């Protein structure tokens, strides 16, 4: 039986190879974007083909681990978003349910171009006819303009599903971005 609530510090491919096929309901990956970020333990400036080959390897492991009705979310930057989406669909047989834009206001300060303020989130499934999506969960439903603005009787009284652009503004929820609350503030391992 798999032990819960453990962190394994190891290569992701080796770690996944130690898990049973078809054992995962949901996988979320936020890999290095290969944009030259100075990590302590990872080279983030690989040749493009080398990076894509590496992505193909670890994503194939994710697909192997997913249950037949499993879901995979991938967070990635602009540089490889389109290529990885095609790879997931053509080479790995996944179906894209949603291409979400995650808009944030804490991007890097750029001196000679517009500051990047988004990432791509791909919602992929193994089987487009059999997957978990809690569309009727009241916790994720939001009021629609038809309900709030127009009083339209055709509006679903339960609300609607959120848009495919998600906004994260730390200034709106500052208690969630404190050093003791958020892993982003933990020092990297040397």
**Confidence at residue 186, expressed as pLDDT on a 0 to 100 scale:** 44
Alpha helix stretches (DSSP H) within 66-158: 78-86, 145-148
> With the C-alpha atoms ordered 48, 50, 51, 57, is the resulting torsion angle positive or negative?
positive
**Confidence at residue 185, expressed as pLDDT on a 0 to 100 scale:** 43
13 within domain boundaries: no
156 within domain boundaries: no
159 within domain boundaries: no
Q: What is the CATH number of the domain that holds 35?
A: 3.40.50.150
Q: How far apart are CA 158 and CA 152, in angstroms?
A: 13
The three-state secondary structure class of 71 is strand
Query: Which tens digit of pLDDT belongs to each residue from 149-186?
Result: 988 889 998 999 999 999 877 666 666 556 555 444 44
67 within domain boundaries: yes
Tell me which residues of the chain have a pLDDT lower than 50.
Answer: 182-190
User: Which residue range(s) make up the domain with 24?
Assistant: 19-132
**Confidence at residue 171, expressed as pLDDT on a 0 to 100 scale:** 67
The closest alpha carbon to 168, from 85, 83, 84, 75, belongs to 75
**Confidence at residue 5, expressed as pLDDT on a 0 to 100 scale:** 78
184 within domain boundaries: no
Question: How many structural domains does the chain have?
Answer: 1
1 within domain boundaries: no
Predicted TM-score of the model (pTM) = 0.84
87 within domain boundaries: yes
54 within domain boundaries: yes
């Amino acid at each position: 039986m798999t032990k819960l609530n453990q962190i394994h510090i190891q290569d992701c491919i080796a770690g996944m190879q130690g898990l049973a096929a078809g054992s995962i309901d949901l996988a979320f990956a936020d890999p290095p974007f290969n944009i030259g970020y100075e990590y302590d333990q990872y080279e983030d400036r690989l040749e493009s083909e080398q990076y894509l080959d590496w992505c193909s390897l670890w994503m194939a492991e994710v697909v192997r681990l997913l249950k037949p009705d499993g879901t995979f979310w991938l967070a990635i930057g602009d540089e490889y978003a389109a290529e990885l989406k095609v790879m997931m669909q053509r080479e790995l047989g996944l179906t894209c349910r949603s291409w979400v834009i995650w808009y944030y206001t804490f991007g890097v300060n750029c001196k000679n171009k517009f500051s990047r303020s988004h990432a791509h989130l791909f919602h992929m499934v193994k089987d487009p006819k059999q997957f978990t999506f809690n569309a009727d969960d009241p916790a994720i439903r939001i009021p629609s303009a038809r309900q709030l603005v127009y009083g339209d009787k055709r509006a679903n009284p339960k609300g609607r599903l959120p848009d495919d652009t998600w906004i994260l503004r730390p200034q709106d929820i500052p208690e969630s971005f404190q050093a003791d609350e958020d892993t982003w503030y933990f020092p990297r391992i040397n």
